[in-house]
Structure 1
Amino acid sequence: MKILVAYSSKTGNTRKLAEAIHLVLPDADLCPMASAPNPAQYDLIFMGCWIDKGTADLEAQAFMAKIHDKPVALFFSLGAYPDSAHAAECQETVSGLLASCSVVDRFMCQGAIDPELIEWMKALPKDHGYGPTDSRKKLWKDAETHPDKDDLKAVSNWATGVLAAV
């Protein structure tokens, strides 16, 4: 089975997840989406992105538009807590971008938030939806260490399970 692990990563979070997947699937091709080969030549695609405004980043969206009639295992990182309603909405939104494919499984974990984005949010009024409230400051702090070793182990186990199931 020919496998591609393609990812888009702004801060390195999703790249770390992709590299952890590649450690357990060493025969897979690993590459950033910007330099990924034609996905049509693969039997299974592990596709990783980061979340921007509730959906896949633009580079990932462009790559996803090239994938048709393939099994895809979707993984992503986001600044929100993985058990949040926002994270669940992101899973559905990103999966919907792969409508012509079979999304065989999904994995997400919290990732450190881009420091530039945090600085932008700190400048917002507290009553703004993304303003620097105490709960938002806690989220930023909690996200700093992710993906951590537990996240990397979890994504490795997930990838192994996906491969066994397809």
Structure 2
Amino acid sequence: METERYSIIFSSSTGNTKELADTIYEVLPKEKCDYFGVSKEEPQSDKVYIGFWTNQGNADKETLELLKKLKNKKIFLFGTAGFGGSQEYFQKVLGQIKESIDSSNKIIGEYMCQGKMPQSVRERYVKMKEQPNYMPNLDMMIKNFDSALSHPDKNDLDKLRKMVEE
């Protein structure tokens, strides 16, 4: 079966989602790629890989705006989240994102993994702990930050590679 033309469009504030986009681009035939990069314009390709970073349990604003414009596309969603080493959390985020996608589109795949966050986030948590009545889950948030530092890792990228190849 001949591979159809595609575009890879992504938003990446810390480089994590770009790493996923690069992995997808490595797997797919380069000659079939119409566009690779950041864009607010509707892609010409019928098949579109759309990457996002998670902001408050949803995709970033730019990605949501792009998704709302798309009609009659085959969409593969991929993204990263600093919080959430759990599939349940990732599914919740993907569910939120899908609410912004027109029903004329078809979701052909989805992938999320944890991604590292800026050091300033950890510093903010540590500073919050200095307050007399700090949030009880702050230690858990610091632990999550530390575990996210290695992501996306080789295992994350291998899983994505396998999904795209199928």
Shorter-chain TM range is 0.7 to 0.9
Q: 1:91 aligns with which of 94, 102, 110?
A: 94
SS at structure 1 position matched to 2:79: strand
Q: Deviations over 1:36-81 (max 9, x none)?
A: x532x21200100000000010111122122112110000100123
Matching residue of 1:164 = none
SS at structure 1 position matched to 2:101: coil
CA contact (8 A) 2:70 2:102 kept: no
State the distance in 1 between where 2:64 and 2:22 align: 21
Matching residue of 1:15 = 18
Of 74-83 and 117-126, deviating more is 117-126
Matching residue of 1:142 = 147
TM-score by length of 1: 0.84
Identical columns (%)? 25
| 1:146 Cα deviation from its structure 2 partner | 0.4
Matching residue of 2:39 = 33
| 1:127 Cα deviation from its structure 2 partner | 4.2
| 1:139 Cα deviation from its structure 2 partner | 0.8
The count of corresponding residues between Structure 1 and Structure 2 is 156
C-alpha RMSD of matched pairs (Å): 1.9
Higher Cα radius of gyration: 2
Residues 1:121 and 1:8: Cα distance change in structure 2 (over 3 Å) = same
Q: Is 1:158 matched with 2:160?
A: no
